[in-house]
Amino acid sequence: MKWRYVLLALVVSISVTALIAWRSGWNAHSDHINALAAAKKDRAEKAIQPVEKKAAAASAEAKVIYRTITRDVVKYVQDPNRIVCQFDDESVRLRQRAINAANSISGFDAGTVQGK
């Protein structure tokens, strides 16, 4: 009967040791995968950082240009003769200025706008 208890204790201790070793290996693998993911995320952030800076600068430049054009459009629309469908030099200049502004903003992948 004593041998049964010794054998049972041996089986239990081996099982516990195996469980602890399996759990330790699983945690090590998990840590390795998390480290790889963190490194990949860092590389992606470093790669996109210059593009974000360029886009922010282009966006700031666009705000100034379009604010000026919007002011001119409001002035043009408030003209009492706006319903007349003759494009005078001012309206053509305003349209061309908007097209040139859209084409001059760098940092975006869109193609250029076609003028007349």
pLDDT in tens, 65-105: 666 666 666 666 666 666 665 666 777 777 787 777 777 66
Task: For 22-63, write each residue's pLDDT tens digit.
Answer: 998 899 999 999 999 999 999 988 888 888 888 777 777 766
Higher pLDDT, 21 or 76: 21
pTM of the complete model: 0.39
d(CA 80, CA 38): 62
Domain boundaries, the chain: 2-104
Helical packing angle, 89-104 and 2-77, nearest 10°: 160
d(CA 105, CA 55): 10
